[in-house]
Structure 1
Amino acid sequence: MTFSVASQQDPAFEPWLERQLSHSASAMLASISPVSLVKHRPGFGQTIRPLVGAVVASPVLGNYDPDPDYFFHWFRDSAVVIDALRLLYVERRIGDEALQHLRDFTRFSLALNGLDGRAVAAVQGRRARVAPELLQYLREDHDLARIHGDAVVAETRVNPDGTLDILRWARPQHDGPPLRALSLLRWVAGGHLDAALLAEVTPLIRFDIDFTLRHWREPSYDIWEEESGHHYYTLRVAGAALAEGAAWLEGLGDTTQAQRCREESQAVLRLLDDYWVDERDEQDDRDATRGYYRSRVLADDRPSPKALDIAVILSAIHSLGTEATHGPADPRMQATLERLDALFDAAYPINHGRAAGRGAAMGRYAGDVYCSGGAYYFSTLGAAEFCFRAAAMGGDARQWLERGDAYLATVRAYTPDSGDLSEQFDQRSGAQTSAKQLAWSHAAFISCASARRIAGAACQAPRGR
């Protein structure tokens, strides 16, 4: 389908998009149930053999040499991947094997709920198997001993063999359960599941909704696993999961729980209204969108240099629903994207003097120092998807389509002919850095391409008077 200036200016754009989509589909699937891979962590006395249903963040083994070790099942990343798997299935790029992947993922996820860190902490000689220079990275017994019940799914990540992560890490993190619930609810809403699979998925959805009800008000670590506090992204996906969960529960006849979810979802949205940072001139208050949604509120409301964060934009596409506020059609959310675009346009050398038709390569927040410090594929693709979602929701659709294609053109410029996508492409050279073949990067491309098709169809559909 050709509908944008990218296609009109460069006839190779659409063929590239199709090729990359096919490659990203294959590359992402390599992270699901990677049972042929074995990960050795000799310094920690570990050999990890993934189980069916696990989703690794990257199937390319790294050991901070320099690529990081991403051979873990992240609750957040796996939910994003399973949602992208649904898109591949709906668009008939993958057959019924997608349903088997979903079944395996569900069983793996439910089994994790039975993990108990007290048993791990009680193992005699646990620390003796770890190389002395690595003991600083090993979790303390008391930290492991508290991991049981709800605390398991707040672990951020587990090993893909279904065991607890024994390394020090940022915990707890509360975005995984609501993201997983949203992903599964979309599978259900699409009518893709037979009665048997629906019966397996239902307990996991209920668990994730109940977890979100119990814990959304509590502080946790942000999407980047760096700061503890109350985070826009985590709250937004929690609110969306509760809203979608309420509709689902209503359909099951569980009206009491549905009403509770609905009330709590509304409470989340009211709280998020306070995350707006108003930067209007006191002498001129005509423009109501001069500001941005801050990404976090830390303890004692301390300021954070990460207040302006792409996580806010990602929340708008990961929690996409019917709400007018806190989504791509929200003028304040659009203003937040403007501020982020300006930030990275100025900060990243690869954005200076870029070719016509290319958008800014996007990162996470100002001053990022992780690996190359950005740019990130999922950030730039997230900005593109945001634009396509905004186009589908009305307004100046052509402008949003063009802008989304401009971000995609930048992704294309820094994607090798192989179609491989790492986590980052260097802000100075554009070379790929950090974890190779990041499942989230490929999932973001799949989701972005789907949003582009939806936007194109919506813009071409005849409109009533």
Structure 2
Amino acid sequence: MTDVRERAGFEAWLERQLEHSARQMLRSISPVAIVKQRPGFGQTVRPIAGAIVASPVLADWKPDPDYFFHWFRDSAVVVDALRLLHLEGRVGDEALRHLRDFTRFSLALNGLDGRVDAAVRDRRARVAPDFLQYLRDDDDLARAHGDAVAAETRVNPDGTLDVSRWARPQHDGAPLRALAMLRWANSVRLDAALLDEVATLIRFDLGFTLRRWREPSFDIWEEESGHHYYTLRVAAAALAEGAAWLEGRGDAAQARPCRDASQRVFAMLDGFRTEEGEAAHYRSRGLVGEPPSAKALDIAVILSAIHTHGSAPEHGVADPCMQATLARLEALFDAAYPINHGRPAGRGPAMGRYAGDVYFSGGAYYFSTLGAAEFCFRAAALGGSASHGWFDRGDAYLETVRAYTPAGGDLSEQFDQTTGAQTSAKHLAWSYAAFVSCVHARRAAAVPRRR
């Protein structure tokens, strides 16, 4: 009887948290009622429709980080989660309006030009003296035009360039956005006008990915420049899925280079595999022959598998090398985080990014722990004798998220590895989106279990 009650309580929490996550995630989409002041930069930012901020909470690094930006990567993750909410009937026509606004906002960004835009002209005169050290230089801004805007990492939600120094270029945003738009186009009935706009954005992002995938860029965490597993994996998926979409539209000439490039990227991804026999796993950086990295074991590899679900099976959740990567990450964080020591039965380890992380608490992330859970549910959905074990393993991760989520359901970016207290950005849209996609994957995996 106790197990039945506990299971009922868990299922009820899932539903409550899903509803709360959906509401809170929507706050970050087109936050037009919020005005952000950055007095140090002499800025007043008034968001426009279609922007998606990483967090709608106004902060200035005292102590919480300023995440009131439209990140290309985060916004793609959020707009994909919006699709799931729409398919489940939790968000109706509002989702289609958001999609239209997001598509138009994204296309309009392509017209930005750091050489001539009024928003960056004479910017030094508006910046406080002690903020000049954080200001981008002219040469850096001058590179922000044409398709290079899609490599900007982030822009202001009023549709202007970010004038602060940041990690650029970053090449994961365009392929992630292409994947999100392809899923909208393939799974949701869109009117002809919206479908045409979505198609225009898909073509742009595929073109960007096709031209840029060979070039080094900053990693998903915006810390190191080079060739990174996550960035290449999402590029491979976008090019492969894009090729199929183009072929379906009768555009074989454009599909061919995308498919050829996708195969080359997958071949390059094999170079991230360690040569350790059955213990082989994927490094997040450091191709074979390159110097080893302390950040080689990184949750970004697992996130790449769930962010590209439905694409080619290689380098996906069924890949034994990918599963071994998750096992190594579990062991890493189980040993490193005090909150994982002596945890109750039925609760998985809280997961972070990589060993030695020092950003804020350097602790567990909601989207990391939820990403591990989603990986398990997607593995369970493949069926086979191990499916029940994978499903229970996913639920164990969710029990950990439940244990460190306050009663109100609010999710920040991190929870401290020693105390479990929330840290870093409050109301992180990615955290809420990760919960939405994780529960969606769980429900899909639960279907074969009932047969």
Taking structure 1 as the reference length, the TM-score comes to 0.94
**CA offsets 1:38-88 (integer angstroms, 9 cap, x no match):** 000001100000000000000011100110000000000000000000000
Q: Secondary structure at the match of 1:350?
A: helix
Q: Secondary structure at the match of 1:241?
A: helix
- Which position in structure 2 is the counterpart of 1:404? 394
- Which position in structure 1 is the counterpart of 2:363? 374
**Unmatched 5+ residue regions in structure 1?**
281-287
Aligned pairs for 1:200-279 (under 5 A) are: 200-279=197-276
Residue of 320, 331, 335 corresponding to 1:342: 331
- Which position in structure 1 is the counterpart of 2:303? 314
Determine if contact 1:392/1:454 at 8 Å carries over to the other structure. Answer: yes
- Which position in structure 1 is the counterpart of 2:313? 324
Q: Secondary structure at the match of 1:11?
A: helix
Measured after TM superposition, the shift of residue 298 of structure 1 is 7.4
- Which position in structure 2 is the counterpart of 1:284? none
Determine if contact 1:121/1:145 at 8 Å carries over to the other structure. Answer: no
Mean alpha-carbon deviation: is it higher for 296-305 or for 54-63?
296-305
- Which position in structure 2 is the counterpart of 1:437? 427
- Which position in structure 1 is the counterpart of 2:440? 450
Q: Secondary structure at the match of 1:301?
A: coil
Residue of 45, 50, 53 corresponding to 1:48: 45
Residue of 13, 17, 20 corresponding to 2:17: 20
Q: Secondary structure at the match of 1:40?
A: strand
Q: Which amino acid aligns with 2:284?
A: S
Determine if contact 1:246/1:258 at 8 Å carries over to the other structure. Answer: yes
**CA offsets 1:163-200 (integer angstroms, 9 cap, x no match):** 00000000000000000000000011114212121011
Residue of 95, 99, 104 corresponding to 1:107: 104
Determine if contact 2:241/2:311 at 8 Å carries over to the other structure. Answer: no
Distance 1:161 1:348 in 2: 39
Distance 2:201 2:256 in 1: 20
Identity among equivalent pairs (%): 73
Distance 1:421 1:70 in 2: 14
Q: CA separation of 1:200/1:123 partners in 2, compared to 1, >3 Å: closer, same or farther?
A: closer
**Could you list the runs of 4 or more consecutive aligned residues of structure 1 that deviate by over 6 angstroms after TM superposition?**
5-8
Q: CA separation of 1:122/1:88 partners in 2, compared to 1, >3 Å: closer, same or farther?
A: closer
Distance 1:329 1:444 in 2: 20
Determine if contact 2:64/2:425 at 8 Å carries over to the other structure. Answer: yes
Distance 1:244 1:415 in 2: 36
Determine if contact 1:57/1:77 at 8 Å carries over to the other structure. Answer: yes
Measured after TM superposition, the shift of residue 299 of structure 1 is 12
Distance 1:79 1:234 in 2: 14
**CA offsets 1:298-324 (integer angstroms, 9 cap, x no match):** 798222110000000000000112422
Distance 1:336 1:145 in 2: 40
Q: Secondary structure at the match of 1:117?
A: coil
Taking structure 2 as the reference length, the TM-score comes to 0.97
Distance 1:184 1:437 in 2: 24
Mean alpha-carbon deviation: is it higher for 258-267 or for 73-82?
258-267
Determine if contact 2:237/2:312 at 8 Å carries over to the other structure. Answer: no
Q: CA separation of 1:406/1:58 partners in 2, compared to 1, >3 Å: closer, same or farther?
A: same
Q: Which amino acid aligns with 2:18?
A: L
Mean alpha-carbon deviation: is it higher for 358-367 or for 117-126?
117-126
Residue of 75, 79, 82 corresponding to 2:79: 82
Distance 2:313 2:364 in 1: 30
**CA offsets 1:404-446 (integer angstroms, 9 cap, x no match):** 0000000000000111000000000000000000000000000
Distance 1:365 1:388 in 2: 22
1:10 is aligned to 2:7: yes
Residue of 378, 387, 391 corresponding to 2:376: 387
Measured after TM superposition, the shift of residue 273 of structure 1 is 1.1
Q: Secondary structure at the match of 1:14?
A: helix
Residue of 120, 125, 128 corresponding to 1:131: 128
Q: CA separation of 1:151/1:223 partners in 2, compared to 1, >3 Å: closer, same or farther?
A: same
Q: CA separation of 1:416/1:243 partners in 2, compared to 1, >3 Å: closer, same or farther?
A: same
Distance 2:97 2:399 in 1: 35
**CA offsets 1:213-251 (integer angstroms, 9 cap, x no match):** 001111000000000000100000000001110110001
Distance 1:453 1:270 in 2: 33
Q: Secondary structure at the match of 2:52?
A: coil
1:302 is aligned to 2:299: no
Mean alpha-carbon deviation: is it higher for 270-279 or for 170-179?
270-279
Determine if contact 1:6/1:406 at 8 Å carries over to the other structure. Answer: no
Residue of 419, 427, 446 corresponding to 2:417: 427
Distance 2:98 2:447 in 1: 29
**CA offsets 1:256-308 (integer angstroms, 9 cap, x no match):** 1111111111111111111111224xxxxxxx3x0210001379822211000
Measured after TM superposition, the shift of residue 355 of structure 1 is 1.2
Q: CA RMSD in A?
A: 1.6
Q: May I ask how many residue pairs the two structures share in their alignment? A: 449
- Which position in structure 2 is the counterpart of 1:118? 115
Mean alpha-carbon deviation: is it higher for 249-258 or for 444-453?
249-258
Q: Which amino acid aligns with 2:251?
A: D
- Which position in structure 1 is the counterpart of 2:282? 293
**CA offsets 1:9-48 (integer angstroms, 9 cap, x no match):** 4320000000000000000000000000000000110000
Measured after TM superposition, the shift of residue 394 of structure 1 is 2.3
Q: CA separation of 1:256/1:44 partners in 2, compared to 1, >3 Å: closer, same or farther?
A: same
Q: Which amino acid aligns with 2:391?
A: L
- Which position in structure 1 is the counterpart of 2:30? 33
Q: CA separation of 1:121/1:220 partners in 2, compared to 1, >3 Å: closer, same or farther?
A: farther
Q: CA separation of 1:299/1:44 partners in 2, compared to 1, >3 Å: closer, same or farther?
A: farther
**Unmatched 5+ residue regions in structure 2?**
none
Q: Secondary structure at the match of 2:63?
A: coil
Distance 1:199 1:8 in 2: 50
- Which position in structure 2 is the counterpart of 1:145? 142
- Which position in structure 2 is the counterpart of 1:283? none
Q: Which amino acid aligns with 2:362?
A: G
